[in-house]
A = this chain, B = another copy of it.
Amino acid sequence: MTYRITMGARVRKSPFFTATVAHGVTQFSAYNHMLMPTSYGDPDAEYQALTQRVSIWDVACERQVEVVGPDAPALVQYLSARDMATCPVGRARYTPICDHDGTLINDPITLRLSGDRFWLSIADGDLELWARAVAVERGLDCAVFEPDVSPLAVQGPRADDTMADLVGEWVRDLSFFAFVETNLNGIPLVVCRSGWSGQGGFELFLTDGSRGGELWDRVWEAGLAYGIHPGTPNPAERIESGLLSYRCDCAGSATPLELGLGRFLTLDRDDEFVGKAALLAERESGPARRLVKVSLSGDRLASPSEHPWPARDAHGSPVGEVRVAVWSPALASNLALALVEASAAGSGFTALTPDGDELVATHLSFFGE
């Protein structure tokens, strides 16, 4: 069954909306109270463009939380389970953010724009409310708000060629998670070597929402020589490449240690941060669950799973959930992420589909390893 998405002012249109319509977008979801394109109608072509050529994505829904002011470094450091005090200006870091119980509440890329100015480029969730409440209640002298910033992603092996033609050869020398503020014939943007794929590429943080159509068109024209195709965050490629989809993979109720994000935590810091005691205790005892990558038996899945599927061990006992399942072109098999009890995480289990099929899940790896 297919269902229409209702459009209205509650879920905002992106600055690139008109461009995505012109390029044949067919599906949307909502993300951070904004429409997010999720398909242009040809998943195979979109996967191929992303992995073999270059792809352009409207990810304006990846909203920013700006933190600026004298105490901005202190707030960001206190909120982040990763040390951010050592992050240089002009660099970004992947930053797990937890609540006081050590549960992950968002996993932004944090860009340090200056000594006292940051953008937290957020996953789906109102992190602004959390950050603002903490700032005010602690009496920190900084502003926390959503600025007019809309990312456009250029991803794929020809992303460098596309961007070099567009902004200049210098962009090839930008290292991973480095960024520069620049403009494109007056269109203001921040160009960062980042993006939610393992294919390489850039995110163009447009800082004037009225110029989305112009920016899209400029990127598109530059990419034509390299076979550019409209695309979206790709449900298969991101699992193949080991990228977390925060709310999708854990329902917003797991710890970064359960999710295999340990290497992004700085737990042995001297300074206090939100969730520190809980995370240290969990590191000691070991996480109760683990996010694992598994292959799934059965015919090729026609489309990504619509909701979590129950997972059971060899005795038929529930061990957790297959959070997301999808056909993987790279593996030529069905691929899934499951959040399961730690005792079951290293071995196989079964997954019950909505059609009543019991698929065999074969352990591939712990997520993040």
Contacts and interface: CB of A to CB of B under 8 A. Distances in A.
Interface of A: 1-13, 21, 25-31, 33, 38-39, 99-100, 105, 124-127, 129-130, 132-134, 136-138, 235, 245, 247-249, 251-252, 304-308, 323-324
Contacts of A137: 133-134, 137-138
A125 to B, nearest CB: 6
A13 B306 contact: yes
A98 B209 CA distance: 27
A9 B129 contact: no
B25 A3 contact: yes
Q: How many copies does the complex hold?
A: 2
A117 to B, nearest CB: 20
Contacts of A2: 4
A39 B129 CA distance: 31
A8 B133 contact: no
20 contacts: A1-B21, A3-B7, A5-B5, A6-B28, A6-B38, A7-B306, A7-B307, A8-B304, A9-B308, A10-B31, A10-B124, A10-B248, A12-B251, A12-B307, A29-B30, A33-B125, A99-B129, A125-B129, A129-B133, A137-B138
Contacts of A127: 129
A324 B248 contact: no
B29 A5 contact: yes
B8 A30 contact: no
Contacts of A307: 7-9, 12-13
Contact of A4 (B8, B27, B133): B27
A9 B323 contact: yes
A70 to B, nearest CB: 18
Given A13-B307, A105-B129, A129-B105, A4 B7 contact: no
Contacts of A4: 2-5, 26-28, 39
Contacts of A11: 29-30
A125 B129 CA distance: 9
Contact of A26 (B3, B7, B247): B3
A124 B134 CA distance: 21
A244 to B, nearest CB: 12
Contacts of A251: 9, 12
B247 A33 contact: yes
A225 to B, nearest CB: 30
A26 B2 CA distance: 8
Given A8-B307, A33-B252, A137-B137, 13 more contacts: A4-B4, A4-B5, A5-B5, A6-B28, A6-B39, A7-B307, A8-B324, A10-B29, A10-B248, A33-B247, A105-B129, A125-B129, A130-B130
Which of A3, A11, A306: most chain B CB closer than 10 A?
A: A3
A25 B5 CA distance: 12
A198 to B, nearest CB: 20
With a 10 A CB-CB cut-off, give which of A21, A38, A324 has the most chain B CB atoms: A38
Contacts of A13: 306-307
A324 B9 contact: yes
Contacts of A25: 3
A305 B9 contact: yes
A2 B247 CA distance: 27
Contacts of A12: 251, 307
Contact of A235 (B8, B235, B245, B252): B8
